Structures are given as structure tokens and as C-alpha cells.
Structure 1
Amino acid sequence: MSNFPSVLFLMGPTASGKTDLAIRLATECHCEIISVDSALIYKGMDIGTAKPTAEELQKAPHALVDIIDPLQAYSAGDFRDEAIRLMNDIAARGKTPLLVGGTMLYYKALVDGLSPLPSANPDIRVEIEKQAEQLGWQFLHDQLAEIDPVSAKRIHVNDPQRLSRALEVYRISGKSMTELTQTKSEPLPFNFKQFAIAPVEKSVLHARIERRFKLMLAAGFEQEVVTLRARGDLHLDLPSMRCVGYRQMWEYLDGQMDYEEMIFRGVVATRQLAKRQMTWLRGWKTELTWLESGDERNFEKIVKAAS
């Protein structure tokens, strides 16, 4: 592994200070940034995603920012393919790829690879739904228990979406979801050096999240969502509009809550996102170096570990 090119990961929950540290690394250490953020990919969604400013992006360009329209889909597999291509290109130029963001599923897809699960089959899904109407979801759950007891134990009978998907995978491929998800990709030819940044105290992160949300509002977040709604082709079921803050602002504009309730729900949703990100990080299975938000030694720690 020591002969492989180095790749830096700078992970962390939202509002932990990743961007400022990444920009310094990019400008002083011959790094090039690849964004690992499922919200920053969308064009026209700048304020509510806390996207780096135009000045910051000019100073330290971020790959995989502003790459698709909010109407389009983008998967972890799409990210993995693009990130590998970019890492190879950056390393070939003698620079260090610096992957920055908080979408932990993207990091996992990159490191562990993706299972070869088949794409959805509408005909089979309709067939499963008809069987559920005729025989009940308990019957289908019993069927899953016979072909894939591990998945059946994990998936509740009252979770039709996941239950249907597990049966669909088996009917398409002839293999259980458990069997397919155990298939791993070949290790990537990179030496991953992984860092996570977060405040030590949860209350500090919560305060940072609330402060940043209110700064977004002051910067024109409401008008940004007004503009998105005015397109007429976007709706709340799209992954882009499920980004934290956007759903709450959209519902406020629909008259479902008042302004103060929107702020409260937006902050709570962002805190819940941060909690999920921290859960991912605490369970990270490979070596991870923790950094404290705001610590002036973070830059030197990364430079020393990466050298």
C-alpha cells in the first residue's frame, strides 16, 4: 500500500468546518478537492446546501459540485465511477486527491465497492404487489425467510418497500440479497489516509448548525427555494428536494407552517443529519484520525500524517 498514491479523506458532520480546512490544504499542499456531498452536486441549490462560495471555488476548485440539475438522479455508483476517474487523473498530475464531505454512503461505496444488485424490474414489482394484495405481506415475508433468512430477519413484515426489493432481487438474479451484498470489489490502488473533524461537545455542533441555518436565511435561502418552485417541474419526492432545509422551506411556502416553525424544523432536520453522520463515523471500520473543529493544529496534523 505504501507504493500506492496517497488519497486524503476529510470527513465529518455538517457544519463541522471541513470546507475551510480543505481550502487551506488545497492552496498550500498541492491537493485537489473532490466533493463527497450528495447535495452539492445540484445546480441552483447553493445557499441551502452551504455550497462553497464562488470566491472559494475559484481559490480551490471542487470537483463534483454543480454537475447535475435537481431533476436528475445521481447514485452512489455514479459517484464511485467519477471519483475513481478523478483520483487517477489528479494522482497522474503529481497531486494528492482530497475528498471532502459528509455523505458517508459515498465514502463507503468508494472504499468497499458496490454489490452487484440488479436494477429494478417494473414487471416483477407489479407481480409482487399483486401477490401482496391477494395473499398478504406475511405470505411474502415467509417466502423471503425460505430463500434469504438473513434478510427476512432484518426486514420487518410491515416494511413492504424493502421486502419487495429483497424478493425482486432474488427473482431477477436467482441469488439472495444477502449473497449478492457479500460480494466485494477489488481494493483500489490508493493509500487512503482518513480524517474526521467534529466538535468534541455535541452542544457546540448544535449551536454551529443553528447559526449556519440562520445565516442561510439571511443570505436569501427563501428566495432560492421560491425560484426552484417556480420552475414547475420539481417536487418534494425528488432526492434533491429531500435535502435538509429544502423540504422545510418548501412546506413553509406551501402554508403548512409558519416561519418560526420552519426554522425550528430545518435546524432539527440538520441536527438529525449530523447525528446520522456521526453514527457512520463512529462505526467506521478502517483507521480514522479524529480532529477537533476549530483546533489550529488540524492543518499540521494532516500534513504530518500525509507526508
Structure 2
Amino acid sequence: MNRPSQPQSDHADFAESSFPKVISLMGPTASGKTALAIELAKRIDGEVISVDSALIYKGMDIGTAKPDSAEMRGVKHWLIDIIEPHEVYSVAEFRRDAVACIEDIVSRGKVPILAGGTMMYFNALIKGLSPLPNANAELRKDIQEMIDRDGLQAAHQYLASFDAQSAQRIHENDPQRIMRAIEVYRLTGKTMTFLQSVKPPQLPYEFIQFSLMPSQREHLHERIAQRFDQMLQNKFEQEVEALCKDTRLHADLPSIRSVGYRQMWQYLHGEYGEGEKAHSEMREKGIIATRQLAKRQITWLRSWDGATELLTGDEQNMNLILHRIS
């Protein structure tokens, strides 16, 4: 069972804490989070909740480095393969589902282990979500017509006219988030920046947090390149070819805009030309995009309060974690 039906209302205690303990393993892509989380789960009778905005998609296995049944080694995983690539999954939906997972795991006397690198998900779960309004289909249609008529950059400039902070934070080529920020303002008369400053009460759990960081950036870059090449050897191109045949998918969907998938999608649609040169450009752009993602994750983690830093590949990591949670 990868996705619970709904949250429960009661909570169970773990160890001697007044609140149940939830362990968070955060880190940039290719830092070894999955293997560490699985080993920890086996040590402390835990279950792993994926905090990854790409692992949620069915049929996207190779390019997401999704763990298979052998890699999971009998450890139950949650929030993997829960939606189709054409569907959109919000941060609020993640928080709802993650809370339900935590409550289910705790109710059976096991330990929830959050593992991943999608820091917006961690932020929403641990620090809380702002009271944002639900999407409005009619208003979204109007905003989409404005984007189609005037262009995405014009919409981004319009956003900057009333919410400069959101415009600075949201990339000018990110249609989903630009549309959402405009929608929120039109629905409430308040900016996304203001509403996101209003936080609800924290969840009744003790979050024990760890950040898995590379000792040297060059080593992480090598791991990223090696993993991307391994994906290519494992028929990543064929995986995306299958996605291209799905008429519900297009280049602006969050799933297709995922690192690696975007570059392979563009390659298969001839945007890099043809032949070996085009393939080499796709590979290079995919690796660069993954490095840029890792850089953003590291930047976020360095400003994150309350996490114990671990170094990738350090043999003492498990002992440090076990000592910290005891």
C-alpha cells in the first residue's frame, strides 16, 4: 500500500518522547538517501515515506532512479507510483498524504522515515502550509487565455507588478507556479507572499532531521554523471519514447519537466537535431540540469534549521543517526 486513504485522528507514542518520532533524511540528488533510509528502516523497524516529486509518477522509473523491489529489500515504501504522468500533484496533496502515512505507520508501532530531496515537500510537512485557496477552474481558464495571448513572460511581469517577491522566486518559464500565484491574488486579494507567511500549528510529531551532504561538490558531480549514464544504459530513452506515445502528455507538465525527462523529451522531439551529436547534447544538458537541481537543494539545506549534517559515504552515518534518535 503506497498511499493511505485518509488520515486518522489519534497518535501513538514512540520511545520516551511526548510525541511520536519521525526521522527525516534530506539531501541532494544522487547523495545516497535511498540506501541509507532503507538500511535505517531495517535497523529500527521503520517504513520509508518518499519525499520526491518525481517518484510519485507511474511509468517513470529509470529517469527517477526509482528503487525496485530488490533495492527496497522488504522495507515498505509509501508515496511511490501514486499518480499518472498526466496528473498534477500539489504540495498540499503531498502534505495530506504524508500525514496519513505517518499516522498509519505510527499506529502500528513502527517508525516513519521521510527520505528525499524535494525541499518544498519537507517545508510544507514540517513547517506547515499557508491557508491558500483551492484552484478555480474558470479563473484558471481566464489566466491561461491571458498567457496564450500575451505570453508567459508578460504574465510573469504582471505577477511582479503586485507580488515582486513571488516573481523573484518563481522562474519566468514556470507556467504552473506563475498561474497559481496570479490565481491566488485574484481569488483572495492577497499575495502569495503574504499568505505563505501565515503558518498553521505544527504537527504533533518530533521531527528528527538529518541532511546528507557531499564532502566535495566534485564527487557529487561525478556521481550524477555516472548515474545519468547508467540510466541511458538501462534504456531511459525507450522509457521516454513510451511516454511520448501518450497523447495526454506534453512538455509543460510537471512530470515531463522533471530533470532528465525534459532533456530526453526535447531530444526525442528533434530539438537538438539528429544523430550522435544530438544525443551527446541531450546527455550533457541532462547532467547539467541535474547538477543545477543538486545545487538548489544544497542551498536550501544550508539555510535549513534543525538538521544534523551527515557526509555522503561516511561509515559513521548510521551510528550518528542511531545515537541521535535514541
Q: Which TM-score bucket, shorter chain as reference?
A: 0.7 to 0.9
1:12 aligned residue (4, 11, 27): 27
Larger RCO of the pair (alpha carbons < 8 Å, separation 6+): 1
Alpha-carbon distance in structure 2 between the residues aligned to 1:42 and 1:36: 13
Q: Secondary structure at the match of 1:67?
A: coil
Per-residue deviation, 1:55: 1.1
Q: Which runs of 5+ in 1 are unaligned?
A: 145-150
Q: Deviations 1:1-34 (Å, cap 9, x if unpaired)?
A: 9410110000000000111111111112111100
Between 68-77 and 110-119, report the one with greater CA deviation: 110-119
User: How many Å apart are 1:219 and its aligned residue?
Assistant: 0.9
Higher Rg of the two aligned structures? 1
TM-superposed deviation, 1:155: 3.7
Mapping 1:175-254, distance limit 5 Å: 175-254=190-269
> Which position in structure 2 is the counterpart of 1:147?
none
Q: 1:201 to 1:172 in 2, by over 3 A?
A: same
Q: Please tell me whether residue 294 in structure 1 is matched to residue 309 in structure 2.
A: no
Unmatched 5+ stretches in structure 2: 1-15, 273-277
Match status 1:281 vs 2:301: yes
- When the two structures are superposed, what TM-score results if normalisation uses the length of structure 1? 0.87
C-alpha distance after superposition, 1:82-138 (max 9, x if no partner): 1111111111211110000000000000012111122344555638949x97xx989
Secondary structure, in 3 states, of the residue corresponding to 1:240?
coil
The more displaced of 161-170 and 217-226 is 161-170
Please, what is the CA RMSD of the aligned residues?
2.8
Instruction: Name the SS of the counterpart of 2:229 in structure 1.
Output: helix
Conservation of the 8 A alpha-carbon contact between 1:42 and 1:240: yes
- Secondary structure, counterpart of 2:71 in structure 1: helix
1:79 aligns with 2:94: yes
TM-score by length of 2: 0.82
Whether contact under 8 Å (1:198, 1:205) holds in the other structure is no
Distance 1:139 1:269 in 2: 25
The aligned runs of 1:264-279 (5 Å cut-off) are 264-279=284-299
Shift of 1:262: 0.8
CA contact under 8 A between 2:156 and 2:178: conserved in structure 1?
Answer: no
Q: Mean alpha-carbon deviation: is it higher for 32-41 or for 20-29?
A: 20-29
Question: Partners in 2 of 1:223 and 1:68 — Cα distance?
Answer: 21
Q: Which position in structure 1 is the counterpart of 2:108?
A: 93
Task: Determine the C-alpha separation between the residues in 2 that align with 1:199 and 1:305.
Answer: 20
How many equivalent pairs are there? Answer: 296
Q: Report matched runs for 1:150-169 at 5 Å.
A: 151-152=163-164, 155=167, 168-169=183-184
